[in-house]
Structure 1
Amino acid sequence: MSQQETMSLRKFKDKFPDEDACCKHMFQIRWPEGYRCPKCGHDQFYYIGTRKLYECKACRYQTSVTAGTIMHKSHTKLDVWFLAIYLTAHDKRGIAARKLEQDIEVSYPTAWLMLHKIRKAMGDRDAYYLLAGIVELDDAFFGGPTEGGKRGRGTDKTKALIGLSLDKQGRPQYIKASVIENLRASTLADTVKGLIQQGSVISSDLHRSYPCLEKEGYTVYSKEFNPNENPDHLKWLHTAISNLKTLIAGTYHGLDSKHLQAYFNEYCYRFNRRKFKGQLFNRLLNACIGTTTITYHQLVDGVPVLT
């Protein structure tokens, strides 16, 4: 990816003072070489100011700068969207809906929905990539067990599979996380294929399902996880998992399993771009532009969920 413009808060406010400035910026991103009709490719249009639509002079097809993005058909002004994306991109601990509600002065349901749309963009963007090379892999459990429920791998908490790739010096590189129904060999193999590139070396513990990954084109290196005897085994991964649990317990105060994957997506997206600093807004904005929207009812099936 080419070097992107850094964006401090002051620079952000100067560049996007109102909705018109945001619309112009969206136009430049959508059509960097000039307008092209999404339907017929014609390069001439009428601008319908009352509806903020671009109408093709050839086929009369109408489109907007937000069509095909997470902001499509949103009643929230574009400059408010830009601010929400900026704040979300730059808060490394994650921003709760209650906090965003106050910062951008919208209702709680609107803030909640905006954040979930942004998290969808984060997940969709990271879905383009797989972990590769040497990858630490382990399962983890989130939420609280029912009263009297089992602990450990027999728990009824939500199960997740976390993978962390390492660079040539053995330092953390990229991370992926997925909610998983169970740790049976077939389920594990299907999930790992969506996280890790075949041919990679997987470092794991001695769980009986991990050797099945050898049949899927992975090299599996397993040893017992014992912090006293093997302090370096999976150490980076367990640190990342601990940070993820702290984020969920601290910023979001625990989550329903229905939306847990969305928060995994957010954590992984931030972790994977931790070195980009001032480019975070531009990168997240481009992810939001490249992702189709999701509705409130699709998220909660018509039942409001407060997290």
Structure 2
Amino acid sequence: MPITQKSLSIFDFEGLFPNEDSCVSHLFNSRFGQNYACPKCDKEGPWYLNKYKRFACSRCGCQISGRSGTVFSYSNHPLRTWFRAMLVFTHTRTGISNAFIARHFGFSHETSWRLANKIRSHMAWHCGTPIFGGAGEHVEIDETLIRGIRRGGKGSCRAIIFGISDRKRVSTMIVPKRNRATLEPIIRARIRPGTIINSDGWRAYDHLSEIGFEHIKCNHKIGQWVSEEGAHTRHLDTYWTTLKRSIRGIHLHVSMDHLEKYIKECEFRHTFRKKPADMFWDLISKHPPPLPFSGKRYRKG
């Protein structure tokens, strides 16, 4: 699969973000900008960086923390450390272990786990819940089992993952069962009517043609990987391989409580597979909307 852009190197990062102030300024400008209207005096900028690493209104002194409402909130780590960790996350295709983060930054295991967990949560927020398909468009659906999932520290179990793909994007979710009662409501909510759905021969999909979809099956039990109409689920089959390699090869065991974040991390990487440079910039530049203003300043981040 061709890569159209180069990912950001560590030398590029050092040049773009040489100090903490450059990181704080980037976060503020990407979320607010110098023309942001002050929530206290209602006038547009300019804003200046004060000694507390917050931006203050040049007219009334109202302070805004760019960290507030982001994954960087309530963290003692410098913003530059967060940016560097996000860069390291974007330099691998199958994920990165918490132990590597601990060695790379000199953190304790608990600190590295918390930092990595928040970055994965941020990736999950980026994935969102896209709606797929449309009249005449092909969408693949499939489900898979992932073994080696720990539940409550007592042995290992299996998790069922359901996936939808339009061969550009992938959306995955954990489901309790793979029967019709579980999967059909998800398909109705996430795929537009009139879409051509490609699937294997699993019986939970037998009624899709009765609820507004055109359904084409590939009977994998008899070795049919491409139907007579040319339909297939190869894109999701390949994606499952990448996901399982990430969990089994990098993390070995994953807690059921946090499995969703690991799945969404893989989903995020897949979305940016052809534009790896944008992966880092999206992580540091796109965040949830600012929190409502209350009092003299935004809540401390």
Of 130, 135, 139 in structure 2, the residue corresponding to residue 135 of structure 1 is 139
Secondary structure, counterpart of 1:116 in structure 2: helix
2:256 aligns to what? 257
Counterparts of 1:89 and 1:59, CA distance in 2: 40
1:211 aligns to what? 206
2:55 aligns to what? 54
Identity over aligned residues, as a percent? 26
Cα distance change on mapping 1:291 and 1:162 into 2, 3 Å: farther
Shift, 1:52, TM fit: 2.5
Cα distance change on mapping 1:194 and 1:67 into 2, 3 Å: farther
Shift, 1:104, TM fit: 2.3
1:297 aligns to what? none
Q: State the superposition RMSD in angstroms.
A: 3.1
Q: Which runs of 4+ in 1 moved over 6 A?
A: 57-60
1:181 aligns to what? 176
Deviations 1:17-55 (A, max 9, x none): 221111111122123343433566432477673433334
Shift, 1:201, TM fit: 1.8
Which residue type is aligned with residue 138 of structure 1? D
Counterparts of 1:5 and 1:160, CA distance in 2: 31
1:98 aligns to what? 99
1:97–1:112 Cα contact (<8 Å) kept:
yes
What is the TM-score when the length of structure 1 is the normalising length? Answer: 0.78
Mapped pair 1:116 → 2:117:
yes
Mapped pair 1:82 → 2:83:
yes
Higher relative contact order (CA 8 A, sep 6+): 2
What is the TM-score when the length of structure 2 is the normalising length? Answer: 0.79
Which residue type is aligned with residue 63 of structure 1? I
Shift, 1:92, TM fit: 1.4
1:286 aligns to what? 285
1:124–1:291 Cα contact (<8 Å) kept:
no
Unaligned runs of 5+ in 2: 151-156, 292-301
Unaligned runs of 5+ in 1: 147-155, 167-172, 294-307
1:22–1:79 Cα contact (<8 Å) kept:
yes
Deviations 1:81-126 (A, max 9, x none): 0101111122212111111122223222222122222222222222
1:152 aligns to what? none
Cα distance change on mapping 1:263 and 1:143 into 2, 3 Å: same
Shift, 1:5, TM fit: 10
2:27–2:284 Cα contact (<8 Å) kept:
no
Which residue type is aligned with residue 76 of structure 1? H
2:145–2:161 Cα contact (<8 Å) kept:
yes
Deviations 1:54-98 (A, max 9, x none): 345777754201112111121111010010111112221211111
